[in-house]
Structure 1
Amino acid sequence: AADGFEIIGTGGSITNKCNEIFLGNNGTALRFLTALVCLGRGRYILTGEKRLLERPVGPLVSALQNMGVAISCHDNCPPVEVMANGLKGGEITLTDIESSQYVSALLLCGPYTAKGIMLTLEGNIVSAPYIDLTIRVMNDFGAKIIISGKHQYTVGTQNIYTGREYYVEGDASSASYFFLAAALAKRTIRVQGVARKSAQGDIRLLAILEKLGCRVTDGETWVEVSADHDLAHGDMTFDMGDMPDMVPTAGVLAAYRKGRTMITNVAHLRIKESNRLAAMVTELNRIGINASELSDGLLVEGGAPHGADISTYNDHRIAMSFAVAGLITPDIKIADKKCVDKSFPEFWQELAKL
């Protein structure tokens, strides 16, 4: 398609043209493909870079084993090896999961299992808005999901996906760096292609910006953030369990605000592309900001950041967050700029427009 992509599906019949799939450091692809390849036939190995091999996938592997899949991993981490023979489905319970993508991966495969799935979630659930987003997209493509109680999902096999034309909204995570730029540089920036009414959890960063004194206006396909004075002062606490990918953005924001900022309910950031909590503490300290790890988050004392050479840990979100700080603080230099290519290859060109 001229302004998008045309995808020819296989109706749930997964071919096996290469038994080893190398995924770099892409945790999303790892989790989604771990479930997806189970619909195929034969041997699959999912592997990647050193950091990916340190990121847990055990709860998803266990759930698939309980459905009769011959699947294994190493100490709860990749490589994942699957001897696929279709996916039976059945009843699954996940408890205290560290990634909502385990849920999305299982739900997405549900219509193509032999007998459907009934998935129950217990305990702590991170990034819950992205489960709702998964269900919305599945419904849009013709699947039927029954939600019983608070966190019980049933996916039948009567309604499989049907092709259609589909508009994919812009990525709220990528937009956040320009919302941050508006707040720090005290200017007005409009981002096209996103909407405040989005189901994406990361759009909720706008509520934090408003609490800190920014003005937010929006239309059907754009969001504009304006700031013309210093960010609100004082001690504040933000539960970011529904938007954990916004923690680097919020951590940099906190560095420029007078007062103490506590970010909570994000312990699972230790298993992202980097150990994001440790990385944020190290790099905030490097620019002269007092920051420390909590058991489930960060504590940041706002101050007057200065320039420094920033390590990115091959983590796109660390790179982009500190790059925005470089708009207003001289001599902040980002190592390994190419790591942003994972999610936002045009980032540096867009940032230069500011």
Structure 2
Amino acid sequence: MRIDLAGRIPSRPYIAVTVEAMGEFGVEVRTETPDRYIIRGGQSYRGTDCRIEGDASSASYFFLAAALAGGIVAVKNVPLRTRQGDIGFLKLLEELGCGITARGNGVAVAGGPLRAGTCRFDLQNMPDLVPTLAVLAAVRPGRTVIANVAQLRIKESDRLAALAAELRKMGVPVEEKPDGLVIDGGNPHGAEIETYNDHRIAMSFAVLGLVVPGVKIRNPRCVDKSFPCFWRELNKLYD
């Protein structure tokens, strides 16, 4: 079988993760070009022991906590060297002034003064991190441009519209683009956040509540889709 990719490919790192996992279980995928994959027929999957990394997307909320609150947060079992595309959020945080260090089989993020001014980020390959970045942009001094994520219109919610609406509730100036957001950070105030039954909206705004008093999350159980113990883990930051 030959698979040819055509057009713009969002979240491309998930292809590499899939090819690697298939290989670990005995099925070879030959990568002829970044857009062409050959899978020989007649292969069989075989059982094997493998170590499952922690999810970089879920870890991003705790990396965000360090960036917002200015402390140090360590996350286990999420290595710096991974095929998971969402680990790229750490590079973004480093660009904005955070310290990033490997710690055992995980990573520690040290928050610091966030870089001011205008920053532009193309999140085509990690669109699930747009809500995480958007709430950070709400408090960062300066303008944040998030681009190339039109696919967020058809996630669990229209995430671009949802983020714009909820940030505006908090007094944050937001311009909604067809494929992104322009956010002018400052001093957001508390508000009751509609989650649109979207786990990533809920978790991102919940972490923003660490530094913005009065944030209330509606339908908090929507996080069960991807991170059922999120609230328990978040509470550890208050200990």
Q: TM-score range by the shorter chain?
A: over 0.9
1:51 alignment counterpart: none
| 1:132-167 per-position Cα deviation (integer Å, ceiling 9, x unaligned) | 100000011110111112310111123211001121
**Alignment counterpart, residue 251 of structure 1, candidates 134, 138, 145:** 134
**Residue type matched to 1:287 in 2?**
M
In the TM superposition, what are the counterparts of 1:177-188 in structure 2 within 5 Å?
177-188=61-72
* TM-score normalised by L of structure 1: 0.66
The DSSP-based 3-state class of the residue aligned with 1:349 is: helix
**Alignment counterpart, residue 162 of structure 1, candidates 46, 53, 57:** 46
Cα displacement (A) at 1:220 = 4.8
In the TM superposition, what are the counterparts of 1:24-43 in structure 2 within 5 Å?
none
In structure 1, distance between residues paired with 2:222 and 2:33: 41
In the TM superposition, what are the counterparts of 1:276-295 in structure 2 within 5 Å?
276-295=159-178
Are the aligned partners of 2:74 and 2:103 in contact in 1 as well (CA < 8 Å)?
no
Percent identity between the aligned chains? 52
| 1:217-269 per-position Cα deviation (integer Å, ceiling 9, x unaligned) | 014511100013x2100001000000000000000011111111101110000
**Alignment counterpart, residue 320 of structure 1, candidates 186, 203, 211:** 203
The DSSP-based 3-state class of the residue aligned with 2:6 is: strand
In the TM superposition, what are the counterparts of 1:185-264 in structure 2 within 5 Å?
185-228=69-112, 230-264=113-147
In structure 2, distance between residues paired with 1:144 and 1:353: 42
Unaligned runs of 5+ in 2: none
For the aligned residue pairs, the C-alpha RMSD in angstroms reads 0.8
The DSSP-based 3-state class of the residue aligned with 1:125 is: coil
In structure 2, distance between residues paired with 1:345 and 1:150: 35
In structure 2, distance between residues paired with 1:269 and 1:259: 24
In structure 1, distance between residues paired with 2:83 and 2:92: 17
Are the aligned partners of 2:25 and 2:47 in contact in 1 as well (CA < 8 Å)?
yes
In structure 1, distance between residues paired with 2:104 and 2:210: 29
Are the aligned partners of 2:74 and 2:106 in contact in 1 as well (CA < 8 Å)?
yes
Unaligned runs of 5+ in 1: 1-116
In structure 2, distance between residues paired with 1:221 and 1:316: 26
Higher strand share: 1
Are the aligned partners of 2:170 and 2:189 in contact in 1 as well (CA < 8 Å)?
yes
Moved >3 Å (runs of 4+) = none
Higher RCO structure (Cα 8 Å, ≥6 apart): 2
Cα displacement (A) at 1:285 = 0.4
Cα displacement (A) at 1:296 = 1.0
In structure 2, distance between residues paired with 1:321 and 1:215: 20
**Residue type matched to 2:164 in 1?**
V
Are the aligned partners of 2:99 and 2:110 in contact in 1 as well (CA < 8 Å)?
yes
The DSSP-based 3-state class of the residue aligned with 1:123 is: coil
In structure 2, distance between residues paired with 1:305 and 1:222: 32
**Alignment counterpart, residue 149 of structure 1, candidates 23, 26, 33:** 33
In structure 1, distance between residues paired with 2:105 and 2:136: 25
